[in-house]
Each structure stands twice: as C-alpha cells, then as structure tokens.
C-alpha cells in the first residue's frame, strides 16, 4: 500500500531533526532500506514500527496513523465514527502534544489536571 502523505511526513520529521535515513533506521533497529521504502511510499510499516517511530520523534502516534486515512473518511465514514484524527489543519503541534501527554496520565492525574484547568474559569 502506498501512502504519500505518510511518506512525506516521515521525511519531514527526519529532515527537521537533521538526521540521515541511516541514523533513523539504526535508532529504530530496522534496515536503512526498509526506512527508505517508508519515506518513498513503497511500503507500509507495521503498527509496532509506527509506534517506535512516534516514540523516536516524540510525537503522538495518531499523527502518523491518521496520515493513512483520508480526512473525508474519518469525518464521514461510519466505520470510523469513534476514530478521532487531529491534524495540522485542526490542532497545532503543541495542542497535539498536549493531548498526547494528557492521555498518558492515569485517572487520578487527569482529575487533578481537570480541577486545575477548571480553576482558571
């Protein structure tokens, strides 16, 4: 399956980090050829690899996963009714990171954050 949006996103993240394909592939413990295929939209990575990539770049995995699904699909297709994608057209990278960090909290921590936020209003 080819996905140019995902490939473009990967290349952009790598170049913004000032890294080579060799460096990223080495950090992910995959071959440079495999990584190059991902950037060229020649191969789709496994979910595990997508998660590893998101950890490596310290981004929300949904940013990568959402690049596989056209916006009109996740907005209108009943199959994706519980699937929420937030991209650069709806949330800033800072907002995406904030949501990602919030989702990593346990229930008690989330309640504390919610209480703190409510105190501002």
pLDDT tens digits, residue range 17-46? 999 999 999 999 999 999 999 999 888 898
Listed residue (52, 58, 25) closest to 39, CA to CA: 25
Q: For the segment 51-103, what is each residue's pLDDT rounded down to a tens digit?
A: 999 999 988 787 788 777 777 776 777 776 666 665 555 667 777 778 778 88
Listed residue (88, 28, 81, 32) closest to 62, CA to CA: 88
Distance, in Å, from the CA atom of 16 to the CA atom of 7, rounded to the nearest integer, reads 14
Domains along the sequence of the chain with CATH: 4-90 (1.10.260.40)
* pLDDT top residue among 103 and 12: 12
Q: How many CA atoms lie within 13 A of 52 on its CB side?
A: 13
Asked whether residue 111 carries a pLDDT value surpassing 80, the answer given is yes
Distance, in Å, from the CA atom of 34 to the CA atom of 110, rounded to the nearest integer, reads 38
pTM as predicted:
0.63
Distance, in Å, from the CA atom of 39 to the CA atom of 21, rounded to the nearest integer, reads 9
């Amino acid at each position: 399956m080819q996905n140019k949006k995902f490939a473009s996103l990967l290349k952009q993240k790598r170049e913004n980090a000032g890294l080579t394909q060799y460096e990223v592939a080495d950090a992910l413990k995959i071959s440079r050829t495999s990584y190059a295929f991902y950037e060229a939209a020649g191969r789709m990575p496994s979910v595990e690899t997508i998660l590893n990539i998101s950890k490596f770049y310290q981004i929300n995995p949904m940013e990568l996963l959402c690049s596989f699904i056209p916006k009109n699909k996740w907005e209108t297709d009943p199959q994706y009714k519980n699937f929420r994608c937030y991209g650069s057209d709806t949330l800033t990278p800072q907002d995406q990171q904030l949501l990602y960090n919030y989702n990593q909290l346990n229930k008690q921590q989330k309640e504390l954050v919610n209480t703190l936020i409510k105190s501002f209003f």
